[in-house]
């Protein structure tokens, strides 16, 4: 790649595409051509940069200037001022929410500065649709080493030394998993990549696939060599069209370069990869269900043993790894297991990518070394809670996970430590909740999800979660009784202990963790018939507190049903007959005057 004076790393990930990066790209390209700067300045369309919430984003290299919220109208000024006259455009730069200071350089923005990029080292740095750019950053060197310099046993030894644990949720040591499959007898074996990313509120895997698809392919090649498999599948959810598109391109280019197919790098080793699209079933993220689904059947889990390492896809020995797990592997092989284990805690090594979302100022993807505290992630990287509201809880691990309250925020990110406080590391979804989130309603939300997604094969999960949901719904409706709390706890234990797969076994976690830390909210719903966060509509009065009302009229403007009576300098009032209970006014009122 010939170096130009400036490289404009414009994000073309699915987040930024939604906020209009394509229109900006077209306008910028046209303008650069018009003033004949297009030879000097090159636009490179990258994958997700991680900071989707302020998209479209662009990094100007080699200067490191970061621009956000770009639109086609900004193009003339940007080109004239920055690219011609060398004066970066301040108004398009990041402003620190607390200090209101403008920060021009990406590496100085706290959101990026506290991160450590290993899995995401190429994000925003390369065009993911050009294999040469990946290779230029040491891409496929790990595979080359694994295929031509070291033995499969040595690969597994490095993996075990690294301490890498599966990033898909369960945290099983990857080296050990490969060793089982390598020892399993059989000429036909498979390597699968789990790109189903079912946790609703997580997008780490999507971003890795969009920004650096070759890293995942390379990880699969190394895994295949270690266990001696010749065929791989990537099971990717159908909701990720851009990731699917980039995988197709990456696989095609890898084949052209002889990195997939027969006799890879003249090593005598054959391996090829096919992409398989999911069809919208959460349970298919579970390993045995995923394999059933690739076989073209209903994706229902089956009991283990036999484990996939012995009998997996089409009854053959199979290794399944998550996208992020696989993206870690090339660097482990290249730099050694010990290098990888150089950061992290006693039992959790390396880094972890999280999708930080919800009630937090800086929303996006963050990669941090294991051992960093949740507080640091939410307040230093995430910039704290917006709208001057108070932090209430952070949810980790999605529908299988739990909520962690303020008093546990100094918990380090570590598989065991997080489990101790009642959540799980999970795949990396981190949802921050403020005082406006009702914890009973959150438990209801996750149960509703689980109830929807339970495959129905076993009774404790199918019927038990339905019972849990009924009870919680009753509590949210204001019809709960005190004994419900005990029933919830008792039933949860039964479901945990007698469900067949991980979905059922972890389904009660959101209930148990909210009961553990927020029992007072349950009691408020049951005894006082009140929802402290004002989320459960059945418990709201739809009345305006005239003492709290500051007569601003914002509720009046927000109401779609003309149900609010308001005039300048007068207290607002709700006409219950017209009100459709849509909650818009609650969100609109800055003074918390509606109850």
Ligand X SMILES: Cc1cc2nc3c(=O)[nH]c(=O)nc-3n(C[C@H](O)[C@H](O)[C@H](O)COP(=O)(O)O)c2cc1C
Figure out which of the listed residues 283, 385, 421, 438 binds ligand X, where binding follows CB under 6 A.
283
Please provide the DSSP assignment of 275-310 as one string: EEE--S-GGGGSHHHHHHHHTTS------SSSPTTT
Report the C-alpha gap between 115 and 113 in whole angstroms.
6
Are β-strands 391-396 and 429-434 bridged in parallel, bridged antiparallel, or unpaired? antiparallel
Residues near ligand X (CB under 6 A), total:
22
Choose among 275, 248, 323, 243: nearest CA to 15.
Answer: 243
- Chain Cα centroid distance, residue 577: 42
Question: Distances in Å between the alpha carbon of 63 and those of 70, 83, 188, 465?
Answer: 18, 11, 51, 54
As a whole number of angstroms, the distance between CA 321 and CA 166 comes to: 7
Q: Does 219 bind ligand X (CB under 6 A)?
A: no
Residue 170 within binding range of ligand X, rule CB under 6 A: yes
> Which 381-440 positions form the footprint of another protein (CB under 8 A)?
395, 398, 429, 431, 433, 437
Q: In the stretch 27-66, what mask flags binding to ligand FES with x, by CB under 6 A?
A: ---------------------xxxxx--x-x---------
Which entry of ligand FES, another protein, ligand X, none binds 320, CB below 5 to 8 A by partner kind? ligand X
Is 349 a binding residue for ligand X by CB under 6 A? The answer is no
Residue 452's CB is within 10 A of a number of other CB atoms, namely: 10
Nearest to 319 by CA among 329, 311, 330, 308: 308
Binding span for ligand X by CB under 6 A among 12-20, 47-55, 495-503, 573-581: 495-503
Site for another protein in 161-220 (CB under 8 A): 197-203, 206
Task: Write out the H or E segment, with its range, that includes residue 434.
Answer: strand 429-434
Gap between the Cα atoms of 503 and 283, Å rounded: 7
The yes or no reply on residue 11 touching ligand FES (CB under 6 A) is: yes
- Identity of the residue, 106 or 593, whose beta carbon is nearer to ligand SF4 in the bound complex: 593
Binding status of residue 389 toward ligand SF4 by CB under 6 A: no
For residues 554-583, which are near ligand SF4 according to CB under 6 A?
A: 554-555, 558-559, 561, 563-564, 566, 572, 574, 579-583
Residue 443 to residue 465: CA distance in whole angstroms: 12
For the window 261-300, what string marks contact with ligand SF4 as x by the rule CB under 6 A? Answer: ----------------------x-----------------
> What single string gives the DSSP state of each residue in 475-502?
HHHT---THHHHHHHHHHHHHHHH-SSH
Residue 557: CB atoms within 10 A of its CB come to 12
Q: Which listed option, ligand FES, ligand SF4, another protein, none, makes contact with residue 279 (CB within 5 to 8 Å by class)?
A: another protein
- Spatial distance between the Cα atoms of 127 and 132, rounded to a whole number of angstroms: 9
- Shortest distance (Å) from residue 298 CB to another protein: 4
Name the minimum Å distance from CB 566 to ligand SF4.
Answer: 6
Binding test (CB under 6 A) with ligand SF4, winner from 143, 458, 531, 536: 458
Rounded CA-CA distance 175/366 in Å is 25
Residue 337 contact among ligand X, ligand SF4, another protein, none, beta carbon within 5 to 8 Å by kind: none
Q: Confirm if 339 and 329 have CB atoms less than 8 A apart.
A: no
Q: Applying CB under 6 A, which residues contact ligand FES?
A: 11, 13-16, 48-52, 55, 57, 200-201
The residue ranges that bind ligand X (CB under 6 A) are 166-170, 172, 194, 196-198, 283, 285-287, 320-322, 325, 427, 501-503
């Amino acid at each position: 790649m010939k170096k130009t004076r400036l490289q404009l790393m414009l994000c073309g990930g699915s987040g930024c595409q939604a906020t209009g990066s394509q229109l900006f790209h077209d306008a910028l390209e046209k303008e650069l051509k018009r003033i004949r700067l297009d030879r000097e300045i090159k636009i490179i369309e990258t994958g997700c940069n991680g900071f989707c919430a302020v998209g479209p984003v662009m990094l100007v290299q080699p200067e490191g200037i970061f621009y956000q919220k770009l639109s086609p109208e900004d193009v003339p000024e940007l080109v004239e001022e920055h690219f011609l006259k060398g004066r970066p455009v301040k108004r398009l730069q990041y402003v620190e929410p607390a200090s209101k200071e403008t920060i021009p350089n990406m590496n100085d923005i706290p959101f990026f500065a506290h991160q450590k990029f290993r899995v995401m080292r190429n994000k925003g740095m390369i065009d993911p649709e050009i294999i040469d750019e990946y290779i230029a950053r040491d891409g496929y060197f790990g595979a080359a080493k694994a295929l031509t310099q070291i033995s499969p046993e040595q690969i597994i030894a490095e993996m075990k030394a690294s301490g890498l644990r599966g990033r898909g949720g369960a945290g099983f040591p990857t080296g050990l998993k490969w060793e089982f499959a390598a020892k399993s007898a059989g000429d036909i074996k498979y390597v699968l990549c789990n790109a189903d990313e079912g946790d609703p509120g997580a997008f780490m895997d999507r971003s890795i696939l969009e920004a650096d698809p070759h890293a995942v392919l390379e990880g699969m090649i190394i895994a295949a060599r270690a266990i001696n498999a010749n065929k791989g599948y990537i099971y990717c959810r159908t909701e990720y069209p851009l990731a699917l598109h980039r995988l197709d391109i990456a696989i095609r280019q890898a084949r052209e370069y002889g990195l997939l197919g027969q006799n890879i790098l003249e090593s005598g080793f054959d391996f090829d990869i096919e992409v398989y699209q999911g069809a919208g079933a959460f349970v298919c993220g579970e390993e045995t269900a995923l394999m059933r689904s690739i076989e073209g059947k209903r994706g229902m889990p089956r009991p283990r043993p036999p484990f996939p390492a012995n009998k997996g896809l089409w009854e053959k020995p199979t290794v399944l790894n998550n996208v992020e797990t696989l993206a870690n592997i090339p660097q482990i092989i290249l730099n050694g297991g010990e290098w990888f284990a150089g950061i992290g805690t006693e039992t959790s090594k390396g880094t972890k990518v999280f999708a930080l979302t919800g009630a937090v100022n800086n929303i996006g993807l963050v990669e941090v070394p294991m051992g960093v505290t949740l507080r640091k992630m939410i307040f230093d990287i995430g910039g704290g809670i917006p709208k001057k509201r108070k932090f209430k809880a952070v949810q980790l691990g999605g529908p299988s996970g739990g909520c962690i309250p303020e008093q546990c925020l100094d918990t380090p990110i570590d598989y065991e430590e997080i489990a101790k406080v009642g959540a799980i590391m999970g795949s990396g979804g981190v949802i921050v909740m403020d005082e406006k989130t009702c914890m009973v309603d959150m438990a209801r939300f996750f149960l509703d999800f689980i109830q929807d997604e339970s495959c129905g094969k076993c009774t404790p999960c199918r019927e038990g979660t339905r019972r849990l949901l009924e009870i919680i719904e009753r509590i949210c409706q204001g019809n709960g009784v005190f004994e419900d709390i005990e029933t919830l706890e008792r039933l949860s234990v039964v479901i945990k202990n007698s469900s067949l797969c991980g979905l059922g076994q972890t389904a009660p976690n959101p209930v148990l963790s909210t009961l553990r830390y927020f029992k007072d909210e349950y009691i408020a719903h049951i005894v006082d018939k009140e929802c402290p966060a004002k989320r459960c509509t059945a418990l709201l009065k739809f009345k305006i507190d005239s003492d709290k009302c500051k007569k601003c009229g914002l509720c009046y403007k927000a109401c779609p049903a003309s149900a609010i009576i308001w005039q300048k300098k007068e207290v607002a009032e709700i006409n219950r007959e017209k009100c459709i209970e849509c909650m818009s006014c609650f969100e609109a009122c800055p003074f918390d005057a509606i109850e």
